[in-house]
Amino acid sequence: MAKTYVGARLRQLRNERGMSQAALAKSLEISASYLNQIEHDVRPLTVPVLLRIGEVFGVDTTFFSSQDDTRLIAELQEVSLDEEMGITADVHEIAEMVTAHPTLARALVNMHRRYRNTTAQLAAATEERYSDGSGSGSISKPHEEVRDYFYERQNYLDELDRAAEDLTARMRFHRGDVAGEIGRRLTAVHEVQIIERIDLGDNVLHRYDPDRRVLEIAPHLSGGQRIFKFAAELAYLEYGDLIEKLVDEGNFTSDSSRKLAMLGLANYFAAATVLPYTRFHEVAEDYRYDIERLSAFFSQSYETICHRLSTLQRPKQRGVPFSFVRVDRAGNMSKRQSATGFHFSSSGGTCPLWNVYETFAYPGKIMTQIAQMPDGHKYLWVARTVERRAARYGQPGKTFAIGLGCELRHAGRVVYADGIDLQDANATPIGAGCRVCERANCPQRAFPPLGKELDISEHRSSVSPYVLR
């Protein structure tokens, strides 16, 4: 094992658990002075101590891997590219800061995010004031706040996930049909009346009236969709207090963000109920993360399986850390979750060289890609389109592309890497979006990077496409 200095990360773990140096040293069976030297990067981490830390804190060895700093480095690099921040630093300086002061780096990223959101909302409020005189506007962006909440927790919420699995275990004690039992539990335990309604309105799939305890649901939903809606309502009824506590811990800045976070946590609970962690993780490992096999085995949609695969980060029982995305034909990213270092840019969209967009030309076909980010990290991406049919004649259907990706170091555990030389595979150079990508010679570049003005004199013979407005 090469010399590894992890002082900042170890202090972070200790402070998060509220432990003193003396208490942690006792748990690790080392002296307090030795622990103090490790925390101040005077002594490197040894294998025995690393394994002991894993037992005490329930983290695996990759927690101390420099490769897992990728996400924070990319986010901080995006901050440095914003010329209004006045930061001049190359990627090596940024990496050193993340390694030595991860808490400070995270605080800087969060501060920049709030600054950007506030600036955008104030600009919108100014436009509104000039147009109709109201001048009202919210400072926060609910969807971004909730995404950041899940993003910072690597898309895994241990307390809520275990609560859902415990509830499923108790229901299975009586019956083997978990899906049917959820509906029965709603009616028998919580006295909820379930009614099918064909007149709920366009795009309304279900509606719950807490005063009358009536759950109205659209009849055209598939079996998987139907039980997922049942499980989400069960989350509020069984674990409403836990969900509220988790929302409080998020320190959201608006009621809209809190309500959206409540919905996100209820949906997380629903997925963890329909696909209980231990059993799902066991089958996923056995099938080597074959999405279509898992979909058939659990009778759930391709998208639901992909979403659940991106949450398998339970300590001592971790699955492959995946990033999950859902995009439409116009490039809008309606869902994005990540348990990896893959960085989703908030300043420049996504990359047209990414195979997630190519799948629209091959509906229903699974496509794989080895992609390399500008920082050199490589990922295996699996992408496929999914379709939601219209409920009636004349109503448009929906088509999305679903992408699931992991760092190449984990790809050997995934069936989609079979037949690919992972050591010498040709990687497609992609980026997090033109605004934050430094690939100057990319044939698909649409905009210059943030903070970098284009010198037209350098393009006399071949002007870059984004100059020709």
Predicted confidence band of residue 180 (pLDDT cuts 50, 70, 90): confident
| The 428-429 sheet, strands edge to edge | 333-338, 323-327, 398-407, 378-388, 367-372, 428-429
Beta bridge partners of 384: 402
Pick 137 or 316 by higher pLDDT.
316
Q: What span, in angstroms and rounded, lies between the C-alpha atoms of 175 and 177?
A: 6
From the options 2.30.30, 1.10.530, 3.30.450, 3.90.550, give the CATH code of 311-469. 3.30.450
Pick 110 or 354 by higher pLDDT.
354
Q: What span, in angstroms and rounded, lies between the C-alpha atoms of 201 and 218?
A: 9
Q: Tell me which fold the domain 140-274 belongs to.
A: Arc Repressor Mutant, subunit A (1.10.10)
pLDDT of residue 149: 87
Element of type H or E holding 215: strand 214-217
Predicted confidence band of residue 75 (pLDDT cuts 50, 70, 90): confident
Q: At what angle do helices 102-132 and 91-100 cross, to 10 degrees?
A: 110
Q: Contact at 8 Å (CB) between 229 and 211?
A: no
**186 φ, ψ to 5°?**
-60, -45
Which amino acid appears at position 263 of this protein? Answer: L
pLDDT of residue 84: 66
Each domain of the chain, given as residue ranges in start order, spans 7-105, 140-274, 311-469
pLDDT tens for 428-459 read 898 877 777 777 788 888 777 665 554 444 44
pLDDT of residue 69: 62
- Of 56-70, 150-164, 236-250, 294-308, the least confident: 56-70
* pLDDT of 461 above 70: no
* pLDDT of 469 above 50: no
Predicted confidence band of residue 193 (pLDDT cuts 50, 70, 90): very high
Cα separations in angstroms, 455 against 186, 443, 449, 467: 65, 18, 13, 10
Please state, for a pLDDT cut of 90, what percent of the chain lies above it.
33
pLDDT of residue 62: 61
Element of type H or E holding 206: strand 206-209
Pick 149 or 457 by higher pLDDT.
149
**253 φ, ψ to 5°?**
-95, -5
Predicted confidence band of residue 131 (pLDDT cuts 50, 70, 90): very low
* pLDDT of 416 above 80: yes
**Helix-, strand-, coil-residue percentages of the chain, each rounded to 5:** 50, 10, 35
* pLDDT of 54 above 50: yes
- Give the mean model confidence (pLDDT) for residues 191-206: 82
Q: Tell me which fold the domain 7-105 belongs to.
A: 434 Repressor (Amino-terminal Domain) (1.10.260)
**Residue 62, both tokens:** 């990759």
Q: Contact at 8 Å (CB) between 175 and 333?
A: no
Q: Contact at 8 Å (CB) between 187 and 208?
A: no
* pLDDT of 334 above 80: yes
Cα separations in angstroms, 324 against 77, 213, 363, 371: 22, 35, 19, 15
Q: Contact at 8 Å (CB) between 277 and 166?
A: no
**Residue 30, both tokens:** 């080392």
Paired sense of beta strands 214-217 and 193-196, if any: parallel
Q: What span, in angstroms and rounded, lies between the C-alpha atoms of 425 and 430?
A: 15
pLDDT of residue 343: 59
Q: What span, in angstroms and rounded, lies between the C-alpha atoms of 90 and 132?
A: 45
Mean pLDDT (the chain) is 81
Give all strands (DSSP E) within 311-420, no chain letters.
313-314, 317-318, 323-327, 333-338, 367-372, 378-388, 398-407
pLDDT of residue 441: 80
Please state, for a pLDDT cut of 70, what percent of the chain lies above it.
81
pLDDT of residue 380: 94
pTM of the model: 0.71
